Structure formats: C-alpha cells, structure tokens
Amino acid sequence: MSQKSFVFIKPDGVQRRLVGEIIKRFEEAGLTIGALQMQEPDKATISKHYPLDNREYLLGLGHRDTNGMSEEELEQLYQKNYKIVRALQEYVGSGPIVKMILEGRDDTVEYVRSIVGKTDPAASPKGTIRGDFGVDSFAQSDKEGRSVRNVVHASGTPEEAEAEIKLWFEV
C-alpha cells in the first residue's frame, strides 16, 4: 500500500518562485501529488503544527538524545527550542505556503525526506531541494535569533505525516 507524506513549501520558497521547480522534483522522482493548495496559513493551524505547549516536542527537535541530560541542560534546550519554534510560527505565518500530499511508494515519507535534504540547508547535499535552493544555515539563524529559512517542511515519520495531513487538509 502506498504511504502518504505531507510537505509544504514555506514562504521563502513561495517568495523566491521555487514552487514549480520543487513540485517538478517530486514528480520526476515518481511521486504523485494527491492534493495541492496555496494558502495563507492561520495562526491556529500553525500553532497546532508547531506546538509551543508541548515540552516533549520542543525537547525532541532535531531528534536529539536527551537521555543523561541534567535538569539545567534540559531547561536550556527547552528555552532555546521554544524561541526557535516561536520564530518559526511567525515565519510560516508571514506569507503564503503551498501545501501538498505526496504518495506513490511504501516508503514515501523517507523518500521525500531524501529528496528534501537535511533541515540545515548548509548541511544538505547538492541535488536535494534544501541543498540546491537553501541560502541559510543553523549557524546564521542562531546568530540572528530566528528560525532557519529552509524552503520546505516535510513530515519526519509516517505517524507525523498522518497527523499533519489531517491538520492541514480536510480528509
């Protein structure tokens, strides 16, 4: 059975007119677009997608292993990630996005992530969406106290994809 993944092109990708090129890459990779829509995202949906009231979510950003961290280290990580996610919420709400459901493989979520590249554009290989179109880095965004501009969001797990599809599309 074909797995589904959720992707949205962030305001930087839309503003830079990369929508067609990004969609083309997914289609050329053999994926099917099950749904596609441009929208101005509302604050309520953004807040559910990037929840500031979920400590576990905030501590788990970047799939970082927090085992063995002291309470002080956990609190520092929480505070840092809280600021990043708050800035990310503001950024995603700053302009239109293009959201889509992709499908076509048993491992669609993992496959989409390989096409998109790493979250940090500076660490993404050439040939990936973020590696080719990303003009930002974690180092620069941390220095400026904002979220990284990395062109796209892509679900990280099949469970995340299912929840995000339900959140962003009426399915």
Residues marked active site are found at 153
> How does 104-129 read in b/e, with b if 16+ C-beta sit within 10 Å?
bbeebbebbbebbbbbbbbebeeebb
| Coil, strand or helix at 154 | strand
Q: What share of the chain is helix, strand, coil (3-state, %, to 5)?
A: 50, 15, 35
Q: Confirm if 101 and 16 have CB atoms less than 8 A apart.
A: no
Using CB atoms within 10 Å of the CB of residue 18, give its burial: 0 to 12 exposed, 13 to 18 middle, 19+ buried. Answer: buried
3-state secondary structure of 163: helix
Other Cβ atoms less than 10 A from the Cβ of 41: the count is: 20
Q: Which two tokens stand for residue 118?
A: 């790493």
DSSP code at position 122: G
